[in-house]
């Protein structure tokens, strides 16, 4: 849609949107294309970043993208996009429009949709935590088809899918989904969302006037499925192994392999075909399968001692992996959106101060934050905390129920930027990526505590600087430090 306005006397809502914004947001374009054209007036502007949805003759105006999307799927158009065959709010919208009447479950599902869309926003802003998100999703989706209870993909599923499919290169995303611990559940969900988006784009009533471009999203390949075998239940292991071997040519042929390989792998023409189809195996096939199993077992046994000799013992993880430095808060101010966060500029001995967000507003007033000498964990990956780019962590001691918190501080005379070490652990700190990937801080933190004198220790090894040990600022004893 290049410009202009589609009007209707029966329109329930009016969307004003900049054409470049619509072209760059495939989900917004898809939802607009799905809306009944006689119920939604769409006005596009050739330039700018305008985005607004007017309801009830502009008596109410929404300007936030996610709120606009949820409104279009629900109340704005009398829930036209949240009933069969579409359930973009999971059938959980207001009574009369969805599959489910108003209920606590429906309210929780709608809240879940809003939360997952916020997760999609965070991935668009900062894709560094993509691997961690995929791990979380894989576990979350192990017993779920979609992000919230729904007969089909919701607006949240589509939004998060599109965020993931545009957050990294095809090579990186494929590697995240297939290498190492394969994320089968999230792959299955991504493929389902991809298919749903394509089907909706093809059948949308407004697809002829609103361009829905899904080509910019990384294609997700479904996981390879094994060839099914069917048995009567009375076959022995040799029969099962032979049938599996005989079926291999089918898999190879599907991938473009040569049919001639069937004789090599299956033990010969018609007999192999009969075995693959579930027919009775010949004595020769059973014997061949048994010999093959015995040979593989012997080879595995022969390799085991060599592998044990070659394997070097892994270095034990210790506190030297963390880069804890003496720092000074140069400036602190209240976060505009998060009521528990302070934003700080902290000198840790680098070319310029680091920006760090800390959840200390319940424990310190703003004046107490200014000019503080503190300990800073520096080899954490930078990330956005409620929209604020934070790189590092100001360390504090706290009691068990986290009702009392006080700064962890270096001794007077310690140099800004000086690294804190622990007795007996003088190794070099690990890189930020490795600390995040191996969850090193999470593994080391439970043993980072103050002793009875308030001195910071790790497994009994005292902290050290050129000026002495580090402590909780008021000497809090036996406290957790993080």
Give the up-direction half-sphere exposure of residue 59: CA atoms within 13 A in the CB hemisphere. Answer: 4
- Measured CA to CA, the distance from residue 439 to residue 446 in angstroms comes to 13
Largest CA distance in the chain: 87
292-330: string of b/e by CB count within 10 Å (b at 16+)? eeeeeeeeeeeeeeeeeeeeeeeeeebbbbbbbbbbbbe
Q: For residues 15 and 65, is the Cβ–Cβ distance under 8 A? A: no
Q: 107 or 279: which carries more pLDDT confidence?
A: 107
> What pLDDT, on a 0 to 100 scale, did the predictor assign at position 268?
40
Pairing outcome for strands 40-45 and 13-18: parallel
**pLDDT one-digit tens code per residue, 287-336:** 777 777 777 778 777 766 554 444 455 678 999 999 999 999 999 999 99
For helices 237-254 and 283-310, the axis angle rounded to 10 degrees is 80
How does pLDDT run across 242-277, given as a tens digit for each residue?
666 665 544 333 333 333 343 333 344 433 444 444
How many Cα atoms within 13 Å fall on the side-chain side of residue 375? Answer: 27
- Tokens 């969850």, residue located: 439
pLDDT of 182 higher than 80: no
The predicted pLDDT at position 243 comes to: 66
Q: What is the pLDDT of residue 404?
A: 94
Under the banding of pLDDT at 50, 70 and 90, the label for residue 410 is very high
Tell me the average pLDDT of the chain. Answer: 82
Contact assessment for residue 206 and residue 194, using Cβ atoms and an 8 Å cutoff: no
Please report, for the chain, how many H helices and E strands are present, in that order.
15, 22
Q: Which pLDDT belongs to residue 251?
A: 37
Q: What are phi and psi of 116, to 5 degrees?
A: -65, -30
% of the chain surpassing 70 pLDDT: 80
The full DSSP string for 8-22 is -TT--EEEEEEHHHH
Q: Rounded CA gap, 281 and 246, in Å?
A: 10
205 dihedral zone (left: phi>0; alpha: psi -120 to 50; beta): alpha
Report, as an integer, the average pLDDT of 142-157: 93
* φ, ψ (nearest 5 deg) of residue 372: -70, 140
Confidence of residue 458 (pLDDT cuts 50, 70, 90): very high
SS3 state of residue 225: coil
Q: What is the tens place of the pLDDT at every residue in 64-121?
A: 999 999 988 887 778 888 888 888 998 888 654 444 456 788 888 899 999 999 999 9
Tokens representing 246 are 């005989």
More confident residue, 414 or 91: 414
Higher pLDDT, 123 or 232: 123
pLDDT score for 431: 94
DSSP state of 468: B
pLDDT value at position 267?
40
* pLDDT score at 112: 92
pTM for the whole structure = 0.48
φ, ψ dihedrals at 298, nearest 5°: -65, -40
CA 330-335-340 angle, 5° bins = 105
Question: DSSP of 49-118, one letter per residue?
Answer: --EEEEETTTTEEE--HHHHHHHHHTGGGTTTTEETTEETTTT-SSTTTSSS-S-HHHHHHHHHHHHHHH
For the cut 70, the answer to whether the pLDDT of residue 40 exceeds it is: yes
**pLDDT for the residue numbered 9:** 44
């Amino acid at each position: 849609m290049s410009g202009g306005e589609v009007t209707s006397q029966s329109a329930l809502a009016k969307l004003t949107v900049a054409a470049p914004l619509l072209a760059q947001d495939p989900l917004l374009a898809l939802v607009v294309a799905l809306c009944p054209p006689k119920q939604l007036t769409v006005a596009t502007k050739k330039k700018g970043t305008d985005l607004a949805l007017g309801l009830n003759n502009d008596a109410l105006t929404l300007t936030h993208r996610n709120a606009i999307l949820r409104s279009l799927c629900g109340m704005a158009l009398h829930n036209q996009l949240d009933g069969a065959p579409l359930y973009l709010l999971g059938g959980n919208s207001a009574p009369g429009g969805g599959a489910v009447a108003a209920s606590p479950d429906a309210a929780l599902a709608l809240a879940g949709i809003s939360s997952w869309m916020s997760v999609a926003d965070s991935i668009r802003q900062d894709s560094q935590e993509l691997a961690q998100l995929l791990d979380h999703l894989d576990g979350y989706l192990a017993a779920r088809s979609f992000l919230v209870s729904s007969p089909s993909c919701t607006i949240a599923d589509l939004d998060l899918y599109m965020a993931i499919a545009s957050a990294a290169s095809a090579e990186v995303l494929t590697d995240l989904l297939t290498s190492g611990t394969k994320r089968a559940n999230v792959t299955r969900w991504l493929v389902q969302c991809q298919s749903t988006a394509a089907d909706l784009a093809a059948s949308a009533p407004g697809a002829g006037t609103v361009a829905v471009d899904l080509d910019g999203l990384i294609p997700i390949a479904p996981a390879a499925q094994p060839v099914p075998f069917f048995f009567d239940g009375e076959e022995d292991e040799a029969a099962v192994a032979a049938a599996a071997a005989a079926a291999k040519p089918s898999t190879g042929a599907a991938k473009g392999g040569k049919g001639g390989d069937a004789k090599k792998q299956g033990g010969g023409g018609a007999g192999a075909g009969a075995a693959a189809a579930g027919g009775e195996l010949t004595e020769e096939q059973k014997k061949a399968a048994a010999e093959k199993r015995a040979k593989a077992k012997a080879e595995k046994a022969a390799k085991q001692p060599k592998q044990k000799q070659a394997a070097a013992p892994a270095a034990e993880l210790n506190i030297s992996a963390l880069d804890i430095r003496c720092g000074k808060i140069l400036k602190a101010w209240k976060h505009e959106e998060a009521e528990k966060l302070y934003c700080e500029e902290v000198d840790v001995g680098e070319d310029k101060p680091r920006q760090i967000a800390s959840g200390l507003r319940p424990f310190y007033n703003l004046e107490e934050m200014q000019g503080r000498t503190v300990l800073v964990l520096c080899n954490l990956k930078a990330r956005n905390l409620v929209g604020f780019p934070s790189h590092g962590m100001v360390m504090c001691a706290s009691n068990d129920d986290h009702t009392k918190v006080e700064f962890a501080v270096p001794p007077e005379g310690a140099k800004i930027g000086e690294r804190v070490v622990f007795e007996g652990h003088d190794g070099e700190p690990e890189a930020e990526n490795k600390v995040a990937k191996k969850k090193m801080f999470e593994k080391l933190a439970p043993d980072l505590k103050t002793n009875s004198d308030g001195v910071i220790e790790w497994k009994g090894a005292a902290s050290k600087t050129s000026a002495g040990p580090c402590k909780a600022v008021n000497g809090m004893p036996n406290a957790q430090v993080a």
